[in-house]
Structure 1
């Protein structure tokens, strides 16, 4: 979820080996009694971008090799869920509760993967062709919807009604976006996306505009935002009527209260922390917001440090 095409293309060149952690389940019983940590260290060289949760565990993807890392912030259990492979990329990630899957956006690879959330095994892959940056995604009962930061469309994996089945690769399609949304040439456009009732919400990084999207027709309507700027908007997280917009280069998270129709939003809080270093996305669990720091301004090496920062939740 970066700000320019050159940064996106560079992701594929940043393939390094992440230092492994102990296997999941290595936490101790005494860890459960400890307060929630303010900071959770990731493997060195991990190059994180996306984060999601199943309400108990946090899952973080790797730009370096597409790997998936997991941690339970209450018990301290942590480890690599899927080691990743050279040439793979994990940008946005989202948890599918009905299927117990992790859906992963492949950025410049133009692909979406589905992983078993318990074993990390790749269950399915869907390709949308070259020339796209499949950035962030969200799962609804009808499908998986991913932003393309270079175009005016969403990548879509339609989901069958039965939760024990996945669609064939041929089911992958794109949804043209019409209405208020217009991509800015040679810029990073649609980025974070989240479901909101029967709608989708997505932020346009280059100018900070927020849009409501009809997931069936692709018609977009700009959301009127009061009291906040959303330029450099990256990951989105929603809890009830509160939408959290991570502003990566600004090192802050803006909390907005949405109206019932999702056509207007008003600032209720701005979350800051000295530990934030280009946060990319955030996930809410254990009554806290957990922001992953992508550190895009720091040279990525196999020894570069990365971490998750705990933030408070906003009250409307």
Structure 2
């Protein structure tokens, strides 16, 4: 039973659409002749800028400024938005700090946006999808949602929860015989400003993903009815490493460079923190999410 949702003619809502891959997915949906694109972003200015781009491409768009981690705001904006066909939960934040370095407010903010927002947005729009027996709920999670990552305890745990949320929802919908689809997206590093010009420790095996490629593949997956999308494909085997004895697991993670800090990527604390490519002119970050 096909559960994919055609973007052409669909009403697509994207949270965190004011920047990054959220913005690119909005533009890609416009290129695929979506009927309307709803832009939810914390920044009204960013949202309006993307709305202008979408409408310049010939597609109707609306923008709403809100905090998706606030259940009341989500409920109010959902009333104004009305029924949708595709919900893409793209909004997300990361502290990049160790457990003892992050304060309570920051941790709660991570979970509000990365995890609890999934409940509020999905509960708002899922009933309409179920009633029409069509639609897609997409969660942009992370490769960190497949295996725990040191120095990002709050982020990793929130993304594990995001993947678990999506998989559990899929089980509920299947049990009810619903054609509404769920898609969990787990990308490795994406070539955003933070990772510009940076490579992973093993660039051929774990390349930095290009933003346009990620946005295109997500919408392809929505249309084909896929239920999980892991990028690059090698990363899908990482959870299997957890079946190894603990010490062997730790050694594999250390070899891959999973448990490093954000400094290894940005280079903001000195070039000595960066691995170097053979040519010496391209920073090579240790692979970690």
**TM superposition score normalised by structure 2:** 0.29
Q: Which has the higher helix share?
A: 2
Larger radius of gyration: 2
Q: Tell me the TM-score normalised to structure 1 length.
A: 0.27
Normalized per residue, the structure richer in strand is: 1
